[in-house]
């Protein structure tokens, strides 16, 4: 019983700003994984393509197939392809990220069985995040095996571990240094390969290290992990719902499962028709998190239920079916998330499909 209002003109504003601080606006990869960070992968992707984006990136093959089946025909990069889905990946002309020798060998085997040639892929390096990726020492192996295989390297990239942290910390400087060495080694092999290192925060924090491409994710949706950078962006979504009932609670009475909250005085509580099945997690309990009722803060109280949570409206003039803003322009998702001890990414990407997305252009 909630709705996510999504303003596509704000998406366009954010895209244009990111392009304005990018060395090559045609080298911008738009990240639409995780249902476009909860905003709706189909509508967001189609809008981005209409605005001139030529390459989208997703997490899985299934996300890429969904886009293809719905008429999205631009380049689609798959960050974490499942080797057991390579057959579908090739059939739908998706671009895999290859991050290990085993994944490389499986992909080559599949291409040879299909008699494919010059299939484009991306190579991922681990320069210090210690997640997925080849190591620097693997470069000679990659080049040797690429030369005798039916593939073409489109790009080589890595991911900073702390792009939003204070600039030039030692770990980030070390990662950049390693990536520079990787670039030089590959450039000697093929001067046409593209390079990219920066995510959203990196675009703002390390403009001198943009290389050929950049990857814009959360910044497209209005957040940058820094309040100064945020001033240039517009959150594109607001989560709206309504009060469905109000109760008068006596001092000492409890509210919700497991007596999660007890009234310290005569109180009024409002019932909100969203819960952990919608992405409003149980971790919000006792975190001093508020929503807005008639532009006034109303704290979340008690344990979050599957379909419902409760707020304290004792000091707010409100009635049943008044509108409630979970997050929006006056209560941004990053502020809402920080008060809960998490990040905007988690709040946004957790929003379930039970919440209706409404798009405004």
pLDDT in tens, 308-337: 999 999 999 999 999 999 999 888 999 999
Q: Which residues contact 25 (CB under 8 A, 6 or more apart)?
A: 19
What is residue 329's predicted lDDT score, i.e. its pLDDT?
86
What's the token pair of residue 314?
A: 């004792």
Average per-residue pLDDT in the chain?
96
Dihedral in degrees, nearest 10, Cα atoms 339, 219, 348, 247? 50
Same domain, 254 and 298: yes
> Across the beta sheet with 237-242, what order do the strands follow?
245-249, 267-272, 309-312, 296-301, 290-293, 323-327, 237-242, 3-7, 356-360
- For residue 215, the model assigns a pLDDT of 98
Q: Is residue 168 scored above 90 in pLDDT?
A: no
pLDDT of residue 283: 86
Catalytically active residues are 33, 257
Q: Is residue 247 part of a domain?
A: yes
- Asked if pLDDT for residue 161 goes beyond 90, the answer is yes
| Confidence at residue 177, expressed as pLDDT on a 0 to 100 scale | 97
Q: Is the pLDDT confidence value at 26 over 90?
A: no
Residues 265 and 142 in one domain: no
Give the CATH number, domain containing residue 340.
2.40.37.10
Is a pLDDT exceeding 90 seen at residue 258?
Answer: yes
Same-domain status, 307 and 159: no
294 and 171 share one domain = no
Cα-based distances in Å from 246 to 267, 295, 302: 10, 18, 15
Residue 142 included in any domain: yes
| Least trusted range by pLDDT, from 97-106, 257-266, 278-287 | 278-287
The pTM (predicted TM-score) of the whole model is 0.95
Same domain for 283 and 185: no
Residue 306, domain member (yes or no) = yes
29-70 confidence digits (pLDDT tens): 999 999 999 999 999 999 999 999 999 999 999 999 999 999
Q: Is residue 265 domain-shared with residue 125, that is, in the same domain? A: no
User: Helices marked H in the chain — which ranges?
Assistant: 8-20, 33-37, 41-50, 61-69, 86-91, 101-113, 139-147, 170-189, 200-205, 227-230, 333-339, 344-349
Is 153 inside any structural domain? yes
**359 confidence band (pLDDT: 50, 70, 90):** very high
Residue 252 has pLDDT above 90, yes or no: yes
In a domain, residue 206? The reply is: yes
Look at residues 176, 192, 223 and tell me which one is the last residue of a structural domain: 223
| CATH number of domain containing 179 | 3.20.20.10
**Is there a single domain that holds both residue 250 and residue 199?**
no
Number of domains in the chain: 2
In the block, tokens 């249902």 appear at 35
Domain-located, residue 229: no
pLDDT given at position 128: 97
What's the pLDDT at 148? 85
Find the mean pLDDT for residues 236-242: 98
The pLDDT of residue 89 is above 90: yes
Claim to verify: residue 208 and residue 266 sit in the same structural domain = no
Instruction: Say if residue 120 is in the same domain as residue 171.
Output: yes
Which two three-digit tokens encode residue 338?
């920080």
DSSP state of 316: S
Based on the domain organization, do 216 and 249 belong to the same domain? no
Question: What are the structure tokens assigned to 159, written together?
Answer: 């991911």
Distance (Å, whole) CA 89 – CA 108: 13
Give the structural domain span for 344: 237-360
Can you give the pLDDT at residue 162? 95
- The stretch 124-133 carries a mean pLDDT of 97
Contact 224, 204 (CB under 8 A): yes
Could you tell me if residue 215 is inside a domain? yes
Q: Are residues 146 and 90 in the same domain?
A: yes
One domain for residues 217 and 256? no
């Amino acid at each position: 019983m909630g709705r996510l209002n999504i303003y596509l003109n704000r998406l366009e504003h954010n895209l244009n700003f990111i392009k304005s601080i990018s060395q090559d606006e045609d080298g911008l990869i738009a990240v639409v994984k995780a249902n476009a960070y909860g905003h709706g992968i189909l509508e967001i992707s189609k809008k981005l393509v209409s605005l001139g984006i030529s390459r989208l990136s997703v997490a899985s093959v299934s996300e890429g197939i969904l886009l293809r089946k719905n008429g999205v025909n631009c380049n689609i990069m798959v960050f974490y392809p499942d080797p057991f889905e390579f057959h579908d990946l090739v059939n739908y002309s998706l671009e895999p990220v290859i991050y290990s020798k085993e994944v490389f060998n499986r992909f080559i085997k599949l291409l040879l069985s299909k008699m494919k040639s010059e299939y484009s892929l991306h190579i991922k390096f681990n320069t210090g995040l210690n997640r997925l990726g080849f190591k620097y020492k693997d470069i000679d192996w990659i080049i040797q095996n690429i030369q005798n295989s039916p593939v073409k390297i489109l790009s080589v990239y890595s991911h900073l571990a702390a792009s939003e942290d204070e600039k030039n910390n030692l770990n980030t400087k070390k990662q950049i240094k390693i990536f520079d060495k990787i670039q030089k080694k590959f450039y000697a092999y093929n001067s046409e390969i593209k390079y990219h290192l920066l995510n959203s925060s990196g675009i703002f924090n390390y403009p001198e290290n943009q290389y050929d491409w950049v990857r814009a994710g959360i910044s497209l949706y209005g957040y940058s992990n820094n309040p100064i950078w945020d001033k240039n962006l517009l959150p594109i979504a607001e989560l709206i719902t309504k009060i469905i009932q109000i109760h008068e609670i006596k001092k000492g009475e409890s509210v919700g499962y497991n007596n999660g909250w007890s009234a310290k005085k005569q109180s009024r509580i409002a019932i909100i028709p969203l819960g952990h099945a919608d992405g409003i997690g149980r971790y919000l309990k006792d975190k001093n998190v508020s929503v807005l009722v008639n532009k006034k803060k109303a704290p979340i109280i008690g344990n979050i239920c599957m379909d419902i949570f409760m707020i304290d409206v004792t000091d707010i003039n409100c009635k049943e079916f008044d509108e409630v803003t979970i997050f929006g322009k006056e209560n941004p998702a990053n502020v809402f998330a920080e008060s809960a001890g998490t990040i905007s990414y988690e709040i946004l990407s957790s929003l379930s499909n039970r919440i209706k997305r409404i798009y405004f252009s």
